[in-house]
Amino acid sequence: MTALFDHHIHTDRSDGRVSLEDRARSVAIRPHGVSDHYPWRDKMRGEDDVLRYIDDAARLGLRVGLEFDLGVMPPLRAATRASLHYLIGAVHQLTIDGKRVAFDEAGRYLKGDRAAPFAQRDLYASPDLRRKILESMLEAVRHGIDEVGMDIVGHPTFLPLVALGDPEEMLPAEWQERFIEMCVRSRVAIELNESYRVPHREFLVRARERGALFSVGSDTHGKIGPLDRTEAMIREAALDRGAFLSGARVRRESSRI
């Protein structure tokens, strides 16, 4: 069985703990690229930092991506985007009615053992707020596809709502179908994220039935670990390994801008 390409890996160029040089060595463990956060505080501030990152990583023989922070990302020139091997677009916060809804706490919960209940449950009690979060998420994904030209949607169903209970209950089927349809239409790959354990099985089955493309993302910030959860997700949703990206973009159109 050929190893799947891991697109989503961080280095010390953003919040990872491993250098580009060490990442270049670990491709011997399994094929992977690097995809640091953009923007990232004092490290990935703008075009110049991104271009230096692409040069340094490519010189080491790495496939280079970026994890675009949808909604807060400063624009990059088309030429810079084109010189990346792939773009991952991901949502880490949303603004609802002028207020920032941060995903950090939900992220810690989903990455952990999930034994205790999610501490921020009460924050998301309002059905109106939940509906707005879902709509705002779809709009962020649409923006990533149509205007940023992303190739992969990173941790697609990672939302605070998913920390509240069964994702199949928290995410209406109709919302899942709209999400998947946007990706399928532009051949944007749906990431299976090892760290957050998303998307859930029913979402992946729906995506497979619509003919979606997929992508592996361990989202590691440290050492390269096994892809046990990803392999289980693939098995349980009966995904075809031939539908996974292998470190290169396959989109129908790279971007509208």
Report the interface residues with Zn ion, using CB under 5 A.
67, 90, 219
* Nearest Cα to Cα of residue 192 among 175, 168, 212, 163: 212
CB of residue 123 to Zn ion, shortest distance in Å = 20
* Nearest Cα to Cα of residue 63 among 95, 99, 30: 30
Nearer to Zn ion, 104 or 209 (CB): 104
Nearer to Zn ion, 56 or 67 (CB): 67
Q: How far apart are CA 241 and CA 19, in angstroms?
A: 30
Nearer to Zn ion, 89 or 127 (CB): 89
Nearer to Zn ion, 143 or 210 (CB): 143
C-beta neighbour count of 129 within 10 angstroms? 17
CB of residue 219 to Zn ion, shortest distance in Å = 4
Nearer to Zn ion, 43 or 210 (CB): 43
CB of residue 90 to Zn ion, shortest distance in Å = 4
Nearer to Zn ion, 198 or 207 (CB): 198
CB of residue 147 to Zn ion, shortest distance in Å = 19
* Burial per residue of 226-250, b for 16 or more beta-carbon CB atoms within 10 angstroms, e otherwise: ebebbeebbeebebeeebbbebebe
* 3 state SS for 165-222: CCHHHHCCHHHHHHHHHHHHHHCCEEEEECCCCECCHHHHHHHHHCCCCEEEECCECC
CB of residue 70 to Zn ion, shortest distance in Å = 10
Give the H or E element holding residue 129: helix 127-143
Q: How far apart are CA 73 and CA 69, in angstroms?
A: 5
Beta strand segments in 62-140, E: 63-69, 86-90, 93-96, 99-102
CB of residue 221 to Zn ion, shortest distance in Å = 8
Amino acid at 172: P
